[in-house]
Amino acid sequence: MGNWCVVSSRKFPQIGAMNFNKYVQTGEAFVREIAVEMDCPDDIAKAGRVLRSVLHVLRNQSTPEECFQLISQLPMLIKAVFVDGWRISGKGRSVRNIDDFIANVMDADGVSEWDDFPTEVETITAIKSVFRVIQKHVSEGEIEDFRRTLPEALRPLLR
């Protein structure tokens, strides 16, 4: 017997019911992977903030087409984090070098910046942790395609 939905005492079959709990679980698992990579496995809130900051700066460094191709392979909840607040037609901040990227990631973290990125070494570790987890979930070919759209100074981050 299938799933049924009751609406004003009438039963209707549920067709294509969305399982939001599944999206939450896969998204949380992704963020937990980042927390482990950052060596703070119990602080998924920090890992989530770092992920959001990195994704928001990263999306402004590539074309919308490449961004959509990249996120197509990520969990649904992570896609939502990536596109949250994105103004596709707007111009992002141009990053000339890794130092600019780091500064933009820190700035994107807002009021938690100094808690999440207390030193340059910890900031670089956090950024690389996000990239390592992304690379586990996205095909090598797509990572390479995305890498080519980034400013040359940022390409080593995705190796």
Contact 51, 81 (CB under 8 A): yes
Assigned domain for 59 exists: yes
Assigned domain for 26 exists: no
Rounded Cα distance, 93 and 91, in Å:
7
pLDDT per residue, tens digit, the chain (159 aa), is: 455 555 555 665 555 667 788 999 999 999 999 999 999 999 999 999 999 999 999 998 888 999 999 999 999 999 999 999 998 865 555 788 889 999 999 999 999 999 999 998 999 999 999 999 999 999 999 999 998 888 888 888 877
Assigned domain for 63 exists: yes
Query: Residue 56: which CATH number?
Result: 1.10.490.110
Assigned domain for 9 exists: no
Q: Which domain holds residue 54?
A: 42-158
Distance of CA 148 to the CA centre of its chain: 19
Assigned domain for 79 exists: yes
pLDDT (0 to 100) of residue 15: 58
pLDDT (0 to 100) of residue 1: 46
Decide: pTM greater than 0.75: yes
Assigned domain for 8 exists: no
Assigned domain for 117 exists: yes
pLDDT (0 to 100) of residue 63: 86
pLDDT (0 to 100) of residue 116: 94
pLDDT (0 to 100) of residue 6: 52
Contact 38, 126 (CB under 8 A): yes
Domains contained in the chain, number: 1
Rounded Cα distance, 38 and 122, in Å:
9
pLDDT (0 to 100) of residue 60: 87
